Each structure stands twice: as structure tokens, then as C-alpha cells.
Amino acid sequence: MRIVCVCVIAAGFVSTTVAAPRGEGTNSIAALPFAHPSTLPFEAPPFDRIHDDDYLPAFTAGMATQLREVAAIAAEPQPATFENTIVALERSGQMLARVQQTFFNLRDCNSDPRISQIDAEIAPRLAAHRDAIQLNAALWARIDRLYRERAGLNLDAESAQLLRRYRAIFTRAGALLRSPQKARLRQLNAQIASLTTRFRQNLLKATRDGAVAVDSVAELDGLSAEEIGAAAAAASARELQGKWLITLQNTTNQQVLTNLSSRGLRERIYRASINRATYGTADNTAVIAQIVRMRAERAALLGYASHAAYQLEDESAGTPAAARGMVEQIAPAALARARAEAADMQKLIDMQATAAGTTPFALQPWDWFYYSQQVRKARYDFDQASVAPYFELEHVLQDGVFYAAHELYGLTFQERHDLPVYNPDVRVFEVSDADGNPLALFLADYFARDNKQGGGWDSTYVNQSGLLHHKAVVANHLNIDKPLPGQPVLLTFDEVTTMFHEFGHALHDMLSDVRYPLLAGTQVPNDFAEYPSQYNEMWAREPAVVAHYARHFKTGEPMPAALLEQVIAAQKFNQGYATIEYLEATLLDLAWHQVTVASTPAPAQVPAFERAALTASGLDYAPVPPRYHSSYFSHIFSPDDSDYSGGYYAYLWSEVLARDTGQWFHAHGGLTRANGEYLRSHVLSRGRTAEPLTLFRAFYGGPPEFGPLLEYHGL
């Protein structure tokens, strides 16, 4: 997953007076760490100088400054030109961008109660600020005039694309509405911003509170010493002495269920996961109903049949029907595979029960990972315990993730210990290009914390821009359980793949070579943003790369060739489950975001709506739950800076492009600098300087094909 802060033109609020401990005078504002560009390398945030009390005054000052800049652009007495209107907008709001990117990144990975308070307060004001810019009639008139006269402007291709994007952004934001409609739109945007912020905060609390405490280490039978140590460390961090704590990841099923032999504990953990944010002070059901209703009203106000129709107009699918059509191309094969996988596990359960003289039971969702691991072990003659010693974090990072980037793009990575970080676990690397010149700064934040949202994601603190002379400052975030001191950090292959995935986003940001901020890096449609990341996953299983990083953490010996072959072959195992859980979530998203105002369920009906939507999907197979249930489906109910609502299908379409790209690489010689530079020049450096499918076709030489995706997953 990637989270990038939206461009400053689409992110702010209407200036209001805010009381802040540091005051709001000219001198105090100038003293804020966001008032001026950072003097650190790459303009990295000065984390050691930033305090929670800095954010509100910096937001207020930054937004007020941008509104003055925008007012001057709109009131410019000279006729509109590309420079005095579009380029001027691209230069506006730089202080706001600095505070916004730092605040929202830390909100997601290093939050505290004060940050949560600020988040709730600032969300509706940011929405109002965006509206104050995008619903400014005088500013819109200048943009629209330039667009209508674009044929005579003699713009280069990137500038012409920037003009098209500004017009699209403003029209989609409601610039063509009448005044009463604009007033209602402002109300809806502010309310939705507040509600999605509440959803995110409820989920963070519910995920933390949902952790399962274990009283006896005997209950953890099946876990490795490192996993037990991580559970002990998690309990110790919460001062739960003499206990072990199983913290929850963001998805429905939990990776820890793979090896836990206690069926009762597996069920406890599973139920803690699916019941998140469905009761008590962190209940998200009423929040969901309100978000969906308001999104439906906003879509209708803007002239769309549904929120999904509004969202998908700006994505490759174009329509909800087209997104469903993509799902339908692979759903039958995936469901058939999932049923076959379940049948294999049920046979194993029955056989073990017969041997033990006990009554067999029907396979349940909390059993899937445990028995699929046993089937995998029998079929491929290995299990996680046998391969984990070869997937040590440092080897994977240095000899895998960084190695592949060096072989493909010539990048080198030098760790820096002289730059401030927001948490001691965060590491900083300076990235140099093939010619030795500085390219970017990369922050690696890999360990789970209670004040960090779940899952893995990429974010930026500084976006690349030739216009602003910015190089990228990029961060990757994972939620790997941190072991006790002295124990190695041994990864599952899923975690290895996630590291490569998130670094694919980072490469998209770091290799960006774009003039205008709005078009740079990962500021592309969601269904294209996931393409470079899912493509980069291929190197996690590429034999030449795996052989380089898969070394025993004690001896340094490479993984035996036979075991390596088994690991790679086994990646097609359990793909029915993985595909169906994703497709169920995709169709659940589309169901929520195709409702009308009249058909929006009441809060008490939210669970029933979800059940009906899953039943109607044709993929509702009891042993395979959706990857996310609604109450913790953060991709689709989160604030705008991480919003996949109506478009969670993006991962499917992006993977089609990614697997086509993998096929292209294999057909052209694999891991070579020539191939890497070709992808870099055609896709990774281009941002949104052209429309995504135009970029892909120029690289691939034709339209996307579904075949390589099906082959990759063994479907």
C-alpha cells in the first residue's frame, strides 16, 4: 500500500484563529520548524525540533499563506497565462506542504493523544481550505480559459498534461456547481473529513485493544522462539508482566495462526480480529453508515450515479461495471482453486482425527493458515520454520531489496546516523544514483508499535520536483514484530514480499524526474500507483535475487538450491485463498460505494448490508473471509490522503500491469541495467506526465494482458 500526501492545492483549509502555546505572531511563526525549508540534507524534517504544539500554528499559518497566494493569482490583473496561473499554483502552499506531510506521516506511524486531537480538529478545516481554492470562481475562470485556449499556448507535453489535470481536479471538485450547491458541497466535505478521521482513530484504538493476552507459554505451542519472544516483548511494553501478547495486524486473518497448535487460541485471535471496531467506544458501524450516505449525496450533487462512479471516472477502469468485469475474469478460477485447497485441508483434518480417535471438525477460517501450512509442508517438503533462518531482516534489506535496486537502476545506499529520526527504530539511508550524485533519502521504519497503524505503506516527506528543486524524502513502514534484544529478526516470506512491495513505491517516488509537483512520483491513480510496487515484488522470488539475500543468519550459508526451488514453487500454493479474500473485499467496497442516499443502510443495518453484499458477490465461501470486514476496512473509509474508496480493485488492475512487466523482463533477459533503465525511463521517472495506460503501452508495446497474472498465481 502507498499513502502519499495529496498535493498542496488539494489539501488545506480556510484560515481561522487558533490558540496555540507558541502564539501566532510574526516572530513566533517564523520560529516554527515548518516556517522555512529545512536546512538538513534533502530538506528532511528536523524531527528533533518538532513538537506537537508546533502543528496547529503551522497549519494555520501555512493555510493562510496559501490562501493569500491563491487570492493574488485569482486577482492578477494581467490575462491568465500558464506561468501566472498554473505554475503559480504549483509554487503555492509550500509551508503547508511541509507541515502537512510531516504531521500526517507521524499521525500514521508515531501517533500520540495530542496528535489524535489535532487530527480531529484539522480534518474539516483542511477540507474547507481545499474547497476555498477549488471552488474559487475567479481562479476557475482563469484555469478554464487557459484550457479552452490551450491549442495556442504552445505548451510542452508535461505542461499540457498539468493544465489538463488542473481542469479535471477543479471540475471534479465542483467548480461548475451553482452557489447553493457549492455551499452544501462544503458541508459534506467537512463532515466526511471528520468522519473518516474518526474511523481511523477508532480503528487504531480497537486494534490496540483487540490484542490477545496469553497467560501461559504452553498455549503458544508451535511458535518459534523468536515469535514467542516478540509476544513477550509486546506484553512487556504494556506492562503485562508474566504474559504474552498477540497483537493484531490490519487484515482479517492473522499470520500468527499459521503455526499455533491451540485451536481454541486460534479462534480467540481470529474473533478478536473480525470484531474490531464493532462495539464500545471504538464502534465504527455508525461512522460507516454516515460516510457512505454523505459520499452518495456528494456524488449525486456532482452529477454521478454513485461515489464509485465518481471515483472510477479518474481511474483506468472508468466505471464500476468495468471494475466488476475485471474481477469476473479471474473469480471463477480463483474460487475453484480455493475450494480445492479447502478440500485438501479437510482431508488432512479428517485423517488426523481418525488417527487420534477424535471427531473430525469442519474447516473454519481460523484453521486455514494452520492446515494450509501442513499441506504446504507435505507437498513441498518445507515449512516456515525451515526457511525463516534464511530470511533475516538485514540480509533481506541490504542483499535483497537494495541489491535488486542496484542491479536494475545503479542505485547505492549509505546509512546515515547523523540525521534526526522520530523513533529510535527508524533508519535513514542516503540514496545515490548510478553517476554518484545524490538522488533521495530513504527512511526504513519496519517494527510494530502500539501507536502505529497496521499493515505496510509508503509515504513521502518531500516530493520530487524540478520546479521546486526538490529531491524525494521517502519512508517505508511495516509492522514486523520486534523480538527481544539479542534475538534475530526472522521474516516470513510474506513479510519479505511486503518489503519489496513497499520499496517499489519508494522507487516510484525516488526515481521520479518530473518538473511539476502535481505530476511527480506516486501522484497517479491508485490503480497505477500499485503497479510499480507489485512489479517490484517479483524480485523477492527471482532466483538470482533470492540466492543473494537468502543466507542463514548464523552461518551466512546460502539457502540450499533445492530448498530455494521449493520456496519459489510454493508461492503458487494457497493462491485461491489469497485471491478470493481480496476479490471479496473488492466487491464489498463496490457494494458500499454504489448505494444511493435513499438506499444507505442505517447504522444497525451495517452488518446485514455487508452479509448481503458478500452473498450477492457469488464469492461468499465460509472458510475464506474477506481480507477486510467493513469496520476495519481502512483503505476505503480513511481520510483522503489514503482513500481507495470505490477503487479497491486497484490492486487487481495494477497487478495485471505488474505481471505483464514481469513477463517482459523475463523475455528481455531479466535482472539487467538495460532493462531497469528502460522501465525507469518509460514509467518510474514519469509520474503522471502522461496518462497511465499511455505510459504502460509505450513500455510494454501493447495493451495489458490478463494471462501472466493468472499464470503467476497458478490459476
Residue 2: predicted pLDDT:
56
Residue 567: predicted pLDDT:
84
pLDDT beyond 70 at 27: no
Distances (CA, A) of 275 to 330, 452, 709: 30, 20, 33
Nearest-angstrom CA–CA distance, 552 and 523: 39
Residue 360: predicted pLDDT:
95
Residue 706: predicted pLDDT:
87
Per-residue pLDDT of 57-101, as tens digits, reads 999 999 999 999 999 999 999 999 999 999 999 999 999 999 999
Nearest-angstrom CA–CA distance, 8 and 617: 38
pLDDT beyond 80 at 16: no
Nearest-angstrom CA–CA distance, 378 and 15: 64
Per-residue pLDDT of 630-671, as tens digits, reads 999 999 998 765 689 999 999 999 999 999 999 999 999 999
Residue 713: predicted pLDDT:
81
Residue 564: predicted pLDDT:
85
Looking only at Cα atoms, what is the longest distance across the chain? 89
- Using 50, 70 and 90 to split pLDDT, how confident is the model at 19? very low
Per-residue pLDDT of 424-463, as tens digits, reads 999 999 999 999 999 999 999 999 999 999 889 999 999 9
Average of per-residue pLDDT across 543-554: 94
Residue 710: predicted pLDDT:
83
pLDDT beyond 90 at 25: no
Residue 21: predicted pLDDT:
36
pLDDT beyond 90 at 385: no
pLDDT above 90 as % of the chain = 87
Per-residue pLDDT of 240-272, as tens digits, reads 999 999 999 999 999 999 999 999 999 999 999
pLDDT above 70 as % of the chain = 96
Per-residue pLDDT of 292-339, as tens digits, reads 999 999 999 999 999 999 999 999 889 999 999 999 989 999 999 999
Distances (CA, A) of 468 to 90, 462, 540, 598: 9, 11, 35, 47
Query: Any idea what the Cα angle at residue 582 is, between residues 580 and 585, rounded to 5°?
Result: 110
What's the mean per-residue pLDDT of the chain?
A: 93
Q: Among residues 69, 502, 610, 655, which one is catalytic?
A: 502
Per-residue pLDDT of 601-628, as tens digits, reads 999 999 999 999 999 999 999 999 999 9
- Using 50, 70 and 90 to split pLDDT, how confident is the model at 130? very high
- Asked if 21 contacts 53 with a C-beta cutoff of 8 angstroms, the reply is yes
pLDDT beyond 50 at 5: no
Nearest-angstrom CA–CA distance, 297 and 293: 6
Strands 438-447 and 472-480, bridge-based pairing: parallel
Residue 3: predicted pLDDT:
54
Average of per-residue pLDDT across 521-528: 94
Nearest-angstrom CA–CA distance, 33 and 39: 10
pLDDT beyond 90 at 23: no
Per-residue pLDDT of 184-226, as tens digits, reads 999 999 999 999 999 999 999 999 999 999 999 999 999 999 8
pLDDT beyond 50 at 20: no
Average of per-residue pLDDT across 510-524: 97
Query: Any idea what the Cα angle at residue 448 is, between residues 421 and 117, rounded to 5°?
Result: 70
pLDDT beyond 50 at 364: yes
Residues 6+ positions from 228 with CB-CB distance below 8 Å = 217, 220, 244
Residue 17: predicted pLDDT:
29
Residue 321: predicted pLDDT:
95
**Domains of the chain from N-terminus onward:** 8-175 (1.10.1370.40), 210-276 (no CATH), 389-571 (1.10.1370.40)
502 is catalytic: yes
Range from 2-11, 34-43, 673-682 carrying the lowest mean pLDDT: 2-11
3-state helix vs strand vs coil in the chain, percent to 5: 60, 5, 35
CB atoms within 10 A of CB 21: 11
Per-residue pLDDT of 686-696, as tens digits, reads 999 999 999 99
